[in-house]
Amino acid sequence: MTILVTGGAGFIGSNFIIDWLEARDEPVINLDKLTYAGNLENLAGLRGDPRYAFFQGDIGDRGLIERLLEKHQPRAVINFAAESHVDRSIHGPGDFVQTNIVGTFNLLECVRAYFAAMDDSGRAAFRFLHVLTDEVYGSLPAGAPAFAETHRYEPNSPYSASKAASDHLVRAYHHTYGLPALTTNCSNNYGPYQFPEKLIPLMIVNALAGERLPVYGDGMQIRDWLYVSDHCAAIRRVLDAGRPGETYNIGGWNEKPNLDIVRAIVGLLDELRPRSDGKSYGGQIAYVADRPGHDRRYAIDAGKIERELGWRPAETFTSGIRKTVLWYLDHPDWIANVRSGAYRDWLEKNYADRSR
């Protein structure tokens, strides 16, 4: 038995592979294109582990996917591979359409042929799990109930539109071809190995570097935050027991405005790594121009996965954010490596004209 993970060198994918091999003995094949967001350093601890194999490649490369499926005969494919950063999708939506929509389509085509050629017992066991996001549901008004699985898709950014499109294809492949597909719609993850373009690691890394902490708009946009290992546990649970054709929302029951998140990080850094001048990192907070089309609020109703599959997050925000800050404090080399090179160009592009 083997599973194929795509995008396993990214933030959630690498956490998923590490947690998977800690929890079980089933081998993992990792297919990743190694874009700017893919980092094999995350998986350095698995070097020499016979249960793990890495292949560099694109989910849109049908020849490669066909060969991998044929050779390794996975009993499940878990698709994390994506362009994942909303701000980058605003600056350049093309890669998002290419990977998230066209790439998913090509992957589905290969998986469909692979599934069709299986015997009955192989087909009964096979799963395609598509990792999706709460952003496909659009922005919630204040006070409105959290997103349930039945909430209509109203994506507002090129990123969320491309993810929604990919999920429509997955749904169609289930209904039309009987592919045993599962979709998980998760809220904002945080934890080890997250690339510091996203809010939480960006704030930690900028604070330590003495740089400004750029808060978009008024900082009162609300997200639901989930520690990454809880997301990984939820995916394992859906893979084991989820009903094909179903969507499961995954969230932390933890809605917070961005400013609260930034202040929590500031408080932890003031405690754990005080500034040499004795002042608070809070002095580095800078309000900058807002993200175009910025969704005001996301909130996840994770009741279905709890009722049907018995999953609930294990971490609270207090425990998860402390672990996260400690992880970044303990990994200065990892930070230095990802902040070098092309990442500097991104910071210049995204933040240069945001000054107010």
Q: Which does 202 bind (CB under 5 to 8 A by kind): ligand NAD, ligand DAU, none?
A: ligand DAU
Quote the tokens at residue 44.
Answer: 């350095």
Question: Do 153 and 134 touch, CB atoms closer than 8 A?
Answer: no
214 binds ligand DAU, rule: CB under 6 A: yes
In a 13 Å sphere around the CA of 239, the CA atoms on its Cβ side amount to 21
Which one of residues 58, 135, 167, 230 is an interface residue with ligand DAU (CB under 6 A)?
A: 135
Site track 294-333 with ligand DAU (rule: CB under 6 A), x = hit: ----x-----------------------------------
Q: Which residue's CB atom is positioned nearest to ligand DAU?
A: 133
Which one of residues 131, 140, 169, 204 is an interface residue with ligand NAD (CB under 6 A)?
A: 131
Which one of residues 12, 140, 203, 264 is an interface residue with ligand NAD (CB under 6 A)?
A: 12
C-alpha–C-alpha distance, residues 106 and 96, integer Å? 14
Applying CB under 6 A, which part among 81-89, 209-217, 281-289, 297-305 lies near ligand NAD? 81-89
C-alpha–C-alpha distance, residues 6 and 132, integer Å? 13
Q: Please, what's the b/e burial string for 26-62 (b: 16 or more CB within 10 A of its CB; e: otherwise)?
A: ebbbbbbbebbbbbbebbeebeeeeebbbbebbbbbe
Question: Do 269 and 237 touch, CB atoms closer than 8 A?
Answer: no
Q: Please, what's the b/e burial string for 113-137 (b: 16 or more CB within 10 A of its CB; e: otherwise)?
A: ebbeeeeeeeeeebbbbbbbbbbbb
| Nearest to ligand DAU of 110, 203 (CB atom) | 203
159 catalytic, yes or no? yes
Of the listed 52, 159, 248, 298, which one is catalytic? 159
Across the chain, the runs of DSSP E, i.e. the strands, are 3-6, 28-32, 52-56, 76-79, 127-133, 181-186, 188-190, 213-216, 222-227, 247-250, 255-257, 285-288
84 binds ligand DAU, rule: CB under 6 A: yes
C-alpha–C-alpha distance, residues 197 and 85, integer Å? 8
Tell me which residues in 54-83 interact with ligand DAU (CB under 6 A): none
227 catalytic, yes or no? no
Of the listed 134, 167, 197, 315, which one is catalytic? 134
Applying CB under 6 A, which part among 128-136, 137-145, 166-174, 325-333 lies near ligand DAU? 128-136
- Residue 200's alpha-carbon distances to 71, 197, 258, 294, in angstroms, are 39, 9, 9, 17
Applying CB under 6 A, which part among 69-77, 100-108, 131-139, 274-282 lies near ligand DAU? 131-139
Applying CB under 6 A, which part among 5-13, 64-72, 119-127, 277-285 lies near ligand NAD? 5-13
Which one of residues 37, 77, 299, 338 is an interface residue with ligand NAD (CB under 6 A)?
A: 37
Chain residues that interact with ligand DAU, rule: CB under 6 A: 84-86, 133-135, 187-188, 198-199, 202, 214-216, 221, 223, 258, 291, 298
Active site residues: 134-135, 159
